[in-house]
Structure 1
């Protein structure tokens, strides 16, 4: 359970990411960043928890253990889902070396110990590339790509579309299952909703704003979509907000999968990147006005395509994007150096000026030679932040 200060996290795609607003910390787990000689995916260990402090802009890494034994530690995974509640991180599903999983794990963020949970109730389908959110102390899961259900269509309350091109160890497909894990009673609960349910999909994205959840895009069979559905969590009712799929329309984002869709405020959601219908990595950025349900483009001073990355809204009015693929992950043969595929960079989309505290930290470190003698008079926590910030800036300057 030791902490290691690092300059940059290991580049990866298909990882999990969650944000602790109380601590201003972004947690990153799992994913993969390469292949072995047999072209099998190189999954990153769940024993490594990467932590990005958004206040001082510094990475660290924690070694995690199992609460009772190593069986409590999840296998290396891509496409899993996670949420944070209190001081716990909950992780469901994903794809491992053994195939799709429907296991649920909990990581204690105080002692960094994993525990495999055994909830009551019927488990969700084993799948990856689903989305999740937390509401009323419940972890909700929607959609994904994975195992064929055992039940017949008449016996289940969701749809499943078989993928005839699935080339893994067993048949798979897309689903639109909606189920929640009750954190209080440790059980899975299946329930019914009203309204028009989104069609099965995977690699879609979700944004929760207040008591409403918004689903954007994702892949259904050969189609990468740009539709929007909302779920009213009080009424448990779906609404089809937007069903446009003409990729020639310029006033809305084109269809995509493996994108991020992050709530910036109670009025805006930010869309970034993804994988287009014609298999191109995207670098466009859009803002969705929730009240009018209209899109507007955001012009960025850079062009950084990202696929299957992660994104969080920090406590400082900014969107932080980490990792992801920079090229077409389905066409590795035309990639000169496969190491270039996996990004370890952070992209910051800043919508308000930096806070006074962060500006003061930056200025104090940049003028270290003038001010460092006065640092000893500062409160211990402020001095600690300055020392960490100083190490970050010095390291980055040395490598530039």
Structure 2
């Protein structure tokens, strides 16, 4: 093995699964590997990749746009027939990193994790060298780890990429890979003693079953709906699967039902989440590609459907986890073939819409940063409020860190967001509204009705104007010379709402000038961002002049770089000739040209950026062979 990625994929490291006795969602993972196919039990010939079974059946939370229910229960899938949308910029989520006492599990990925009551059970996995069959319990109330001594209780052989499901006080374990062979065995752990405070006496059994048993496999899902366990997908070293196998818990018989509808593509590394009596399937890997499709299996009618979902779906992920609370499914982490993410994606099953929760703002508002990007971790919801994320692989090392997402704070944040949105809309309605206005600004002969207290609260210039000894402080009408009406009303709307909705290049340029004149630094930054997106071969020279005039450094830097990357199209145009009227710009362009010629020529833009991406892709490709 030549690197960490190879080690991970090595003996079919089992992706962490997470189950809850009150419901179930599941995920399997097959990630890329650099091992020869013969050494990698979950490899495909091109490209090879290893499987890792992701978390399953824990309910997770989202109270992004509605309050959390008193209990998780089962959500309705009515929304899969109604359509709708979800806000594009949800609130930041809130993470903490507890430090439990006791003996914690060693670093691992591809383990299983099941929550029953107040106990979280970690079993098996892959530590980078070999498969595991150890068992740990985390008391989520006291935050204490305990390693369970399994002498005399005949635990299953070491494995990873197995799949599990919690049923009452029992945990069903199926399949996986032991490092040399694919497994098809079924084991049951009786956890009853653990709930009585005893960590000895937990017993394993291999229950007798009838019917045609599923073939050996790993990276599959095992999901509970009432008294049946539904198995889907997986990989056996040669093929992926797309059939449904059902274990009837009343009769302990395996059933292969006749299903209707369009079957999903065969896959492993997917997630399967229970919503009401339906199973929501997302993503995974087909052996050739990452999948972003979503399917729904109705366990009552045994029918597959493929609903239309709005919004931008997650990238094709494997090694992610999926969890449900209320009517929203949360996906966390996973690997898309290029990077391991720590993003959260939300599927609102009523609105039929995807939304991504950015981590960008989280570090500024959270006690702790979000977990690092990872795959093959486990994620378990406890008490319908807190999501416990454990372990996984970050691309370099196996992890045993524990992070907790406080889902209840989504509810608080959602209420705050709703209140802020309503406040902004209320303030927007006052823009140029004569009601309660106490000053009129006259721009290009047109009146703008305004409110002194709002203007003064958001702009020091207006505060000085209205409270100081300036003549305007005593006037009910103030004439504003030198600016256009469109630009000025855009600035006024920003002072009321904090938003810039104007996109016309000439108007936004003038707004940037207004922001510079009135020392509105946030508005100036917003204007620069908008104008940067509008730069092309026709606009770059006028925008460069505006950037120089209003000392917009970021916009100026971007425009100069754009000029050099497209010099053959720009330098012979009349607009470029007009830059000669600004000697400071001419001097700066000359200096940059001289420096670049000394370095051997070539711009710093698209060409070199593309090369960087290509090199990264080459490294990724070489490491997966």
Give yes or no for TM over 0.5. Answer: yes
Report the Cα distance in structure 2 between the residues aligned to 1:146 and 1:94, rounded to whole angstroms.
Answer: 10
Query: Deviation at 1:103?
Result: 1.2
Q: Does 1:177 align with 2:293?
A: yes
1:17 aligns with 2:164: yes
Check if 1:119 corresponds to 2:259: yes
Q: Do the aligned residues in 2 keep the contact of 1:196 with 1:239 (CA within 8 Å)? A: yes
Contact 1:66 1:115 in 2 (8 A): no
Contact 1:257 1:274 in 2 (8 A): yes
* Partner residue in 1 for 2:229: 89
Q: Deviations over 1:93-116 (max 9, x none)?
A: 000143111111001122222112
The equivalent of 1:289 in structure 2 is: 406
The offset of 1:26, in angstroms, is 1.3
User: Alignment partner of 2:333: what SS?
Assistant: strand
Alpha-carbon shift at residue 43 of structure 1 (Å): 1.1
Give 1:173 deviation, angstroms. 1.4
Displacement after TM superposition at 1:77 (Å): 0.9
Q: After TM superposition, where is structure 1 displaced by more than 6 Å over at least 4 residues in a row? A: none
Q: Deviations over 1:323-365 (max 9, x none)?
A: xxxxxxxx9xxxxxxxxxxxxxxxxxxxxxxxxxxxxxxxxxx
Q: Give the Cα–Cα distance (whole angstroms) in 1 for the partners of residues 160 and 403 of structure 2.
A: 22
Cα distance, 1:25 vs. partner? 1.4
Task: Tell me which structure has the larger Cα radius of gyration.
Answer: 2
1:145 aligns with 2:285: yes
Query: Quick check: 1:206–1:262 contact (8 Å CA) kept in 2?
Result: no
Q: Deviations over 1:186-224 (max 9, x none)?
A: 111111112221111111111112221110010111211
Aligned: 1:254 with 2:372: yes
Q: Please list the CA deviations of residues 142-178 of structure 1 after superposition, one character each: whole Å capped at 9, or x if unmatched.
A: 110115xxxxxxxxxxxxxxxxxxxxxxxx1101111
Q: For residues 282 and 246 of structure 1, what CA distance do their matches in structure 2 show?
A: 22
* TM-score, scaled relative to structure 1: 0.59
> 1:246–1:254: 8 Å Cα contact kept in structure 2?
no
Asked if the contact 1:43/1:76 (under 8 Å) is kept, the reply is yes
C-alpha contact 1:62 1:112 (8 A) present in aligned 2: no
The partner residue of 1:267 within 385, 391, 407 is: 385
Q: How does 1:56-67 map to 2 (within 5 A)?
A: 56-57=193-194, 58-67=202-211
| Higher share of residues assigned helix | 2
Give how far 1:141 is off: 0.8
2:186–2:207 contact (8 Å) kept in structure 1:
yes
Change in Cα spacing, 1:56 to 1:225, as seen in structure 2 (3 Å) is same
Residue 99 in 1 paired to residue 239 in 2?
Answer: yes
Aligned Cα RMSD in Å? 2.5
Closer, same or farther in 2 for the Cα pair 1:44/1:285, shift >3 Å?
same
| CA apart distance, 1:293 | 5.5
Equivalent residue for 1:200? Answer: 316
Q: CA shift at 1:19, angstroms?
A: 1.1
Shift, 1:276, TM fit: 0.6
The answer for the alignment partner of 2:191 in structure 1 is 54
Q: Which has the higher contact order (CA 8 A, sep 6+)?
A: 2
Cα pair 1:80 1:93 within 8 Å, conserved: yes
Shift of 1:30: 0.8
Give ranges in structure 1 of 5+ residues lacking alignment.
36-41, 148-171, 295-330, 332-400
Is 1:31 the equivalent of 2:149? no
Quick one: distance in 2 between partners of 1:131 and 1:251? 25
Match of 1:6 in 2: 153
Q: Distance in 2 between matches of 1:55 and 1:120?
A: 39
Say if 1:73 and 1:116, in contact at 8 Å, map to a contact too.
no
Distance 1:54 1:65, change over 3 A: closer
In structure 2, relative to structure 1, the CA distance for the partners of 1:223 and 1:201 (3 Å cut) is same
Paired residue secondary structure (2:283):
strand
- Give, in whole Å, the separation in 1 of the partners of 2:216 and 2:361: 35
TM-score for both structures, normalised by structure 2: 0.38
Q: For 2:293 and 2:325, how far apart are their aligned partners in 1?
A: 21
User: Against the structure 1 CA distance between its residues 128 and 60, is the aligned structure 2 distance closer, same or farther, given a 3 Å change threshold?
Assistant: same
Match of 1:78 among 200, 215, 218: 218
The answer to whether the Cα contact below 8 Å between 1:81 and 1:94 also exists between their aligned partners in 2 is yes
Equivalent in 325, 328, 345 of residue 212 of structure 1:
328
Q: What is the Cα deviation at residue 261 of structure 1?
A: 1.1
Bigger CA drift: 267-276 or 94-103? 94-103
Q: Deviations over 1:27-69 (max 9, x none)?
A: 111111121xxxxxx1112xx32112222242332344442xx
Q: Which residue of 1 aligns with 2:183?
A: 44
Aligned to 2:447: none
Residues 237/246 of structure 1: CA separation in 2 closer, same or farther (3 Å cut): closer
Q: Residues of 1 paired with 2:237 and 2:378: CA distance?
A: 25
SS in structure 1 at match of 2:219 = coil
Q: Distance in 2 between matches of 1:91 and 1:216?
A: 22
1:277 lines up with 2:395 in the alignment = yes
